[in-house]
Structures are given as C-alpha cells and as structure tokens.
Amino acid sequence: MIATAIAFYLFAAITVAAGFMVIASRNPVHSVLFLILAFFNAAALFVLMGAEFLALILVIVYVGAVAVLFLFVVMMLDVDFSELREGFLQYLPVGALVGIILLIELLLVLGTWVISPEAAGVASAPTPALSDLDNTRALGQIVYTQYVYPFQAAGLILLVAMIGAIVLTLRHKPNVKRQVIADQVARTRETAIELKKVEPGQGL
C-alpha cells in the first residue's frame, strides 16, 4: 500500500510538472517532448487505477501516433513563431481575464474538496452490472450505452479542434508553385506539348 501511494505521488508530480513545461517551454519541440513525458506518466497512473486498457491506448494512440506526428509537423513546417506572437499584447487582457476566472474556479473546487472515507473502495470496485466483465469490455459497455451522446459530442469537439488547427497553421507563402488540379485536367495536346525546330549548331 505504501509503495502504491509513493508511485502515485511520483507519477502525479511528474505529470503535473511535465504539463506545466508543455506551456512554459519556448521551444515547441521541447513542448512536444514534455507532452510525451506527461502521457507516459498518465498511463502509469491508469495502470495504478486498474485501467490497463486506457493506459495502453494512451501510449499507443497518443504517444505512438498523435504526439510523434505533432513533433514531425512542428519540425518540418518551419513555422515563424515570432510572427505568431506579434499580436500577443492585444489579446493579453482577454487572456488574463479568462485565466483569472479559471483560477477562481479551481480555487473554489479545491476549497470545497472533501475526501470521503469510502471513496477509495468505490473507485476500485467494478460497476455492479458489469462486475463479470473485464476492463476493456466493461469500458465499451459503459461508453457506447450510458455515455454514447457525450462520447459523440467529444468526437465532434475534437473534429472542430482539428479543423481549427489546420486553418490556423495553413499559410500560403508567395512565390511557391502549387498544384492546380483543374488546370491539369483541362490540358490538351496543344498546350501540353511544344515542338521546337533546332537549327544545327544552335541551342534552345
């Protein structure tokens, strides 16, 4: 029991510290690396809670795909972050107001937080209706029956966030040749091929 408590506080402290460094690091590559560290420690917390399926999903999906893909995108796009920070001051009052509101809400939650004596037993006990199922099947039964509408709403929110991230990072640079599908499809033999008669001893 003591070893479990020590492991919990260790993983939780590293997760919180890594999450803070994600938003505090000046280098975006370092932020992604701290994000991967936070994912690994969050997966360890899931293992301590008995949710091994969520731990594996967190490592395989988020660390193995999302975080690594984001790291490659940050390294390959060569985004001009100094240009992104130019309008920082004009949004500072609104951002500070939102941050103060969130801080007040967190203080209210922490101030009224009471640990119930039976909370540990309730958290570790399986759902009564799903006590004969393993972790993965019980999670599927709950997510796709009782919480199916919040699950679909979360998917829509993630879709909107993905589209917003693409729109924010998509920048058309001048003097860059881009593919125009309509022009390629509309090409004919006369416009695609040009015959030149080269005289002997002369170049093009």
Average pLDDT over residues 39-62: 86
Q: List, for residues 14-31, the tens digit of each pLDDT value.
A: 999 999 998 888 777 788
The domains found in the chain, sorted by start residue, are 1-79 (1.20.120.1200), 132-194 (no CATH)
Place of tokens 């922490």: 110
Instruction: Give residue 118's pLDDT.
Output: 64
Where does 49-199 have alpha helices with state H?
52-57, 68-77, 81-84, 92-111, 119-124, 135-141, 148-169, 181-185, 189-192
- For the stretch 109-152, pLDDT in tens is 777 766 666 655 655 555 555 556 777 788 888 888 889 999 99
Q: What does the pLDDT look like over 145-176, one tens digit per residue?
A: 889 999 999 999 999 998 988 888 777 677 77
Q: What tokens were used for 58?
A: 């967190």
